[in-house]
Amino acid sequence: MILQEMNWIGMTVGDFEIESLIGEGSFSWVYRGRHADGVTGKAFKVAKPHEYVRALPGDSQTAAFFLQVGHVSRFNPDAAALLALQAERVRGIQDASLVSIDFVKGTEAVCYCQMELVEGLTLRQLMNRGPLPVQVFIELARCLQRLSENQSFEYHGNLTPDNILVTESEIKLVDPGYWGMIDSYNGTIPSCAVTTPAYYPSLLPDDLLALGLLIWEAAMGQSLLGAAGDSEGMDLTRVGEDLLERVMLNENIGKFFLSPILELYTPSQLRMDMPDALETFLLRALRLRVRPDGILDADSGFASFGEIAGALMTLQDQDIDDLGKITPEMDA
């Protein structure tokens, strides 16, 4: 069955006329609306109806996971219920880095929220344009540090290049993840994770690791955990016991998204002009280190977003101002 896109363009919603589609996720569309005054703009996030929601296979896509003891499976959540839960979380947190939501409206036919319209580029768009200033990630880390100190903020849970908007003056975070109970089209799911496994490979709301994976992607030009795998058949002589144990703990409960890290080559093996300080930072941001014997092993990593911001500032002091200004060299 081929579905035609539901199109809100040209519709009137309250005092706003819908002008264009500006974004699409696994479970929603986002439209731009212009007020009757011809000046004021708002964004309208619309939950996808059941027939448009699919359990997408790609690990770089946001998906919903049913978390059971020893087993993880994808499922299709009720997109309207998910939108309401996400909006409720954001509306309870007063912080300039979160896109503000005016209201959520749901009927039998449709569920949508009206929210702040941000004029900027996504982090992915900036990555695709070329080297990114280290300062962008310093500001992102500072935003996350401030949020982590907010008692109303538990996690973002879906920090991806598409969910981070960068304007001339600020950084805005959109589309948070969700952990907990949720309705699906086949009944209530008692424990779920709605996130992007390429950035949350343990299916935990681990924003610190997600930030590390984002910085790695900006510096190295590619996602580290683009596809799930398992340790069977991998060359495990290159990795240490602690790292292998970390991966196996995930595999034993049905989570295979972290497993590709066992085949990771260090930044200096992939790029000929990788500064030592940047390589050390990138590995630590992934909670990794290279032992004196050359083996890649687990590390405790950074303790806070503020610590990451400080380490990035130290890189700037060493004249490392951009991420991505590295010439590809050898095949590992």
Chain segment 253-271, per-residue pLDDT in tens: 999 999 999 999 999 998 8
Which of 3-12, 129-138, 160-169, 300-309 bottoms out in mean pLDDT, i.e. has the lowest? 3-12
Query: Is residue 277 included in any domain, yes or no?
Result: yes
Query: Is residue 55 included in any domain, yes or no?
Result: yes
Measured distance CA(299)–CA(156) in Å, rounded = 24
Q: Assess contact for 291 and 297: CB atoms under 8 A.
A: yes
pLDDT(201) > 80: yes
Q: What Å distances lie between residue 158 and 48, 86, 200, 222, 283, CA to CA?
A: 19, 11, 8, 18, 21
At residue 23, φ and ψ (nearest 5 deg) are -170, 155
Measured distance CA(9)–CA(82) in Å, rounded = 23
Query: Is residue 285 included in any domain, yes or no?
Result: yes
Query: Is residue 50 included in any domain, yes or no?
Result: yes
User: How far is residue 277 CA from its own chain's centroid?
Assistant: 25
Query: Is residue 2 included in any domain, yes or no?
Result: no
Percentage of the chain modeled with pLDDT above 70: 93
Measured distance CA(194)–CA(267) in Å, rounded = 30
Look at residue 323 and give its three-state secondary structure: strand
Query: Is residue 146 included in any domain, yes or no?
Result: yes
Query: Is residue 330 included in any domain, yes or no?
Result: no
pTM score of the predicted model: 0.92
Is the sign of the CA dihedral 260, 222, 290, 307 positive or negative? negative
pLDDT(58) > 80: no
DSSP assignment of 258-270: SGGGGGPPPHHHH
Residue 236 sits in a domain whose CATH number is 1.10.510.10
Chain segment 277-300, per-residue pLDDT in tens: 999 999 999 999 999 999 999 999
Candidates 213, 110, 204, 111; CA nearest to 161 is: 213
User: How far is residue 305 CA from its own chain's centroid?
Assistant: 15
Looking from the CA of 306 toward its CB, the CA atoms found within 13 Å total 5
Token pair, residue 116, equals 């702040």
Residue 253, burial from CB neighbour count under 10 angstroms (0-12, 13-18, 19+): middle
pLDDT(55) > 70: no
The pLDDT score that the predictor gives to residue 56 is 54
* Average pLDDT of the residues in 102-108: 86
* Average pLDDT of the residues in 176-182: 96
The parent domain of residue 277 ranges over 12-323
Look at residue 166 and give its three-state secondary structure: strand
Measured distance CA(213)–CA(227) in Å, rounded = 14
**How many independent structural domains does the chain possess?**
1
Q: What Å distances lie between residue 78 and 133, 196, 290, CA to CA?
A: 39, 17, 44
Query: Is residue 36 included in any domain, yes or no?
Result: yes
